[in-house]
Structure 1
Amino acid sequence: LEAGASLPPLLLSDEEAVAFAIGLRMVAAGRLRRGAESALSALAKLEQVLPSRLRRRVKAMAPDARRTSPGDGEFSSSVLTDLALACRDRERVRIGYEPAEGKRQERRVEPSALVPSGRDWYLVCWDVDRADWRTFRVDRITGVERLRVRFAPRSLPPERVDELVAVARTWGPRTEEAAAVVELPIERFRAVFGEWAQGATAEGPERTRWPVGGASARDIAYGLSWIPAEADYRVELAESDRAELRVLLEGMLEALDR
């Protein structure tokens, strides 16, 4: 057992096992800047082998990792641990999902990563029926059914995981709607924007229509700022929003001139 060797199996007493499980739940629920993912993975392994009598003790002494705040749902550590095990074992699962708008859905997915971001957890996975990568907020997952089907892992670099989660965090219902019609073929547009090209549609062979929106004209201005400078485009939006955006931009230009 030299320093640097692989960690050997641990022989834990009942009390030690319960203490470990409680501590790991607290770390995972606390969403520490570092360590939450490792705690969740370790918790999944530990709870998988705990006898039922000890699992009951852990549940009684440490409530599930729950969060409730205005406008947000809540989730339990059982959902997180089921998803963590599916990520580890490369096992396909069926999840129940309730999007912010719309009816409950059932999706068959191949979990790749669980990512804490801000006060939320996100599941990054391959959607079997849609044949594409998808990101689901864990507090909107209402159940996890393990399908006992293994899958071969697909290549997904860490930077792509970060991008998928960033898009999921910012993509949502919009109170202000606009569209940019960009003089770029849709293939080129998708190559430039990556995951941020969500919702883009071809408008002829050389143009792409891209929905831009948010809570205010400022959000629209921010979205438009990401269109490449060399690409010509026009903006379609309501006249009231157009007037607000014009005032905002004129004020910024005057400030730059000063």
Structure 2
Amino acid sequence: MPKTSARLLSLLSLLQARRDWPGALLAERLEVSPRTVRRDVDRLRELGYPIMTTKGPDGGYRLDAGSRLPPLLFDDEQAVALVLALQTAATTGAGIEEAAARALATVRQVLPARLRHRVDAFRVTAVERPGAQPSSQIDPQVLVALGAAVHAREVLRFGYASADEPRRVEPHHLVTWGRRWYLVAWDLDRKDWRIFRADRVTPRVPTGPRFEPRALPGGEVSAFVASRFQGTDLSGAWPCRGEVILHVPAAEVSSYARDGVVEELGPDRCRLVLGAWSWAGVAAAVSAFDADFEVVGPAELREAFALLGRRCGNAAG
């Protein structure tokens, strides 16, 4: 490849890597003079790349958004990551399987032979976990509308499948949980934080006025969403937590205790402290170990076992 052409590709790769590049820094990275950088930028503009000139003491260049997608440059790791992401796009529930397949075919066609052999070795098959909820397909345009409202910090109005009246919210985060998309937002009418299933949302236009973002309880969206779905508080503590003595070795319990605490008391006994969203849930989790046990406490757990025993007796009788 001629030296000038190779330098143009290197310059284009640098411009794609960050938003603004001082001219002097580009010249240093390319090991050429600032004048050569200016000439190379003009050549890229002639090829259709919208490169803007920035003013100021550190004036330089910026690859601006154009009316069409220019050819993109990826290093080997980026190309492999892109192929893997496109192959697993069907697991997102975003309804982009066909578009992802077309994009994958396009990317594969332009890959060099050494990378094409590597990515062809990947064959990803999504296997559903038994008992997992099926992912709900969502219109990608709905995700785009929700994401735009979150980014712009604009009040969002939308119809919701389980509500008669439209909702008015301040959208804060767009998240995924269990192969479904959710919108975390402050409900303006109910004066509280809410989590909405995105596949049940029908955005309405135009959006409302801009708002100042509120502080999310706990500060982190991941902890907030996990606590809401698990029924715990933001510290991660379950609302119901009980203690039992299991007549089974600790090694056999620890592998299935989830976030429970297991303490060895002897070769065939162990202490288990376990939490759940209800006392019945704690009782059911302990019963699943299929072993004799003693309840240490609290009283609510004893009552849950009594209720579970009566139900099991009625079912057997």
Higher relative contact order (CA closer than 8 Å, sequence separation 6+): 1
Q: TM-score range by the shorter chain?
A: 0.3 to 0.5
Largest Rg, 1 or 2: 2
